[in-house]
Structure 1
Amino acid sequence: MTGAQVRAARSEDAEAMAHVHVDSWRETYRGVMPDRVLDDPGMLEMRRRFWATVLADPRFEGTTAVAEENGRIVGIALAGPSPNAEEDGAAQLYVLYLLHGHHGSGLGRGLLDAVLDDERPATLWVADPNPRAQAFYRKAGFTADGEEKVEDGVRELRMIRPAGGASRVSGAPGRG
């Protein structure tokens, strides 16, 4: 893709990140997530506040990224310590969304690599069914560990990746 890049998110990106978050949810989760959630008229403002708060929080510095194409934000990612980080030292991928027209472009992998350190174990939750996302994460070295939860009526599977897991996957560069 011409003019495509992944970079660290900045505070002035909050508005565009909120739009990508909402638009990608509506593209990806229609039929999986309840329509009342996807069509909530307050969702965009809620996501705008969320991103403004995250981007102002020094705890997320270096773990928030955007994918841009020709100056337009088309993807977002956010990682941070897992809820069990004190025990397992793992990072957790909390957000990785790319507008539908950019799936398969390599920007998703760029976002993942920008927010997760390959030398640290990582975890994430992925909607089920969402075979495309699950295949993407498997290719990046994640495997389902059998844990499940349901949030907002959506079944989610936990996937984990050991430290160095991405660099052991054929063709996947490490961050070292």
Structure 2
Amino acid sequence: MTYEVRTATAGDATVPTQRIAVAERDAEIIGFASSGPPLDESDRATGAGRQLYTLYVLAEHHGTGIGQQLLDAVVTDEDDTVRWVAKRNPRAQAFYRRNGFRFDGTVKPDDRVPTFLEARMVRIAE
């Protein structure tokens, strides 16, 4: 299978603040990711200068490496990064752990669905 990941940035031309990547196969979007500055003061207080806002790959493309390509397109190894992940999503948690993210003990309800809990993971560049 052939996949293509396209990226874009938004913000000041010298300091792009938002990174967006889209994965396509046969002209269909099969995944996307986005990152930018941390949205909450508490997330900035972790020392992270970047937040992974979204990373989604269609289920039929899980395990193909597309998620890794998307993550690499929007977050560099030099970026201290924060990511909120669903408490009930062990697959995503394992993916982020493989990429150096660790839980910091912070849990909160989702703003839109209060019964849906998210846990904060942080990756500090080394």
TM class by shorter chain equals 0.7 to 0.9
Q: Which has the higher strand share?
A: 2
Q: Which has the higher helix share?
A: 1
Partner of 1:4: 3
Give the gaps of 5 or more residues in structure 1.
10-54, 165-176
The one of 99, 114, 117 aligned to 1:155: 117
Partner of 1:65: 21
The one of 113, 116, 119 aligned to 2:72: 113
8 Å contact from structure 1 (residues 8, 62) kept in 2: no
Cα separation, 1, equivalents of 2:105 and 2:17: 31
Give how far 1:70 is off: 2.0
Cα separation, 2, equivalents of 1:4 and 1:72: 10
**Are residues 1:123 and 2:82 paired?**
yes
Please tell me the residue identity of whatever aligns with 2:65. Answer: G
SS at match of 1:88: coil
Give how far 1:105 is off: 0.6
Q: Kindly provide the CA deviation profile for residues 133-152 of structure 1, in whole angstroms up to 9, marking residues without a partner as x.
A: 00010011101110000011
**Are residues 1:135 and 2:91 paired?**
no
Give the gaps of 5 or more residues in structure 2.
none
Q: Which has the larger radius of gyration?
A: 1
**Are residues 1:101 and 2:60 paired?**
yes
Please tell me the residue identity of whatever aligns with 1:131. Answer: P
When the two structures are superposed, what TM-score results if normalisation uses the length of structure 1?
A: 0.61
Q: Kindly provide the CA deviation profile for residues 39-87 of structure 1, in whole angstroms up to 9, marking residues without a partner as x.
A: xxxxxxxxxxxxxxxx8x5366661001111221100101011134487
Give how far 1:163 is off: 1.1
Listed as ranges, the matches of 1:9-28 within 5 Å are 9=8
